[in-house]
Amino acid sequence: MSTEAQVVEKEVEKKPSEPLFSKKNRKLLTDPLDDSNPITVQVLGICSALAITVQLQQAVIMSLSVLFVMIGGNVIVSILRNSIPDRIRIIVQLVVIAALVIIVNEVLKAFLPDISEKLSVFVGLIITNCIIMGRLEAFALGNKVGPSFLDAIGNAMGYAWILLAVAIVREVFGSGAISLPGMGQVKFFDTEWAGFFANGGFYEHNNLMILPPMALIVVGIIIWIQRSRNTKLIEEN
């Protein structure tokens, strides 16, 4: 076999596929938790962080809903990426997300009607969630299914931990309770303590914490702590 033929044969050889959990792909899971968090760094998905974090159970359900929609959307768009005409790619992404959101909405109505009523329009607004649309457009359209799956999990978890942290702070200090799906709201103190609080006791519920402005303040505090710990996130003037 000639040298030229050997060179051509080497060129047509397939490159070994990258492992799913390679160092590069692991960053898709870890970066959105801190360095490229969709809420505190990219400032996306703020509306739901302000509106549905009055109770922890609402934040949990919203986080799981976004996780399902983001994983499904990223995987489906990644599978279809070579078949989607460039001119209608946004429409296709919206159709995929809308179908997944309808599934989520119907499941919530069937099994968790009370939480579904509290979340109301915010489940439907997942369709236009900037985080999901951004990842479909910026990542899933140009990458294989495996990395797209990991990217979806990473960004959904980055979104979720901010929601859960804000919800815990607001509910604990605002209502003196904590709530989880299927358990309802569990008060920290029995009613017999009501007189103790009324007479200047340890702590009285702060209704200001359950108002939407406090969600923005709590998110701001998280951003401040994050940038104090990770100075490379501080923008240069």
Enumerate residue ranges in the chain where pLDDT < 50: 1, 5, 7-13, 200
Our count of domains for the chain comes to 1
Its pTM stands at 0.83
Cβ atoms of 160 and 66 within 8 Å: the answer is yes
The answer to whether residue 224 sits within a structural domain is yes
The answer to whether residue 91 sits within a structural domain is yes
Q: Is 235 left (phi over 0), alpha (psi -120 to 50) or beta?
A: beta
User: What local confidence, expressed as pLDDT, does residue 12 receive?
Assistant: 39
The answer to whether residue 56 sits within a structural domain is yes
User: What local confidence, expressed as pLDDT, does residue 194 receive?
Assistant: 54
User: What local confidence, expressed as pLDDT, does residue 119 receive?
Assistant: 84
User: What local confidence, expressed as pLDDT, does residue 208 receive?
Assistant: 84
The answer to whether residue 78 sits within a structural domain is yes
Centre a 10 Å sphere on the Cβ of residue 87 and count the other Cβ atoms it contains. Answer: 7
The answer to whether residue 115 sits within a structural domain is yes
The answer to whether residue 116 sits within a structural domain is yes
The answer to whether residue 21 sits within a structural domain is no
Print the domain residue range for 53: 31-231
Centre a 10 Å sphere on the Cβ of residue 179 and count the other Cβ atoms it contains. Answer: 21
Cβ atoms of 18 and 25 within 8 Å: the answer is yes
In a 10 Å sphere around its CB, with 0-12 CB exposed, 13-18 middle and 19+ buried, how is residue 149 labelled? buried
The answer to whether residue 80 sits within a structural domain is yes
User: What local confidence, expressed as pLDDT, does residue 182 receive?
Assistant: 73
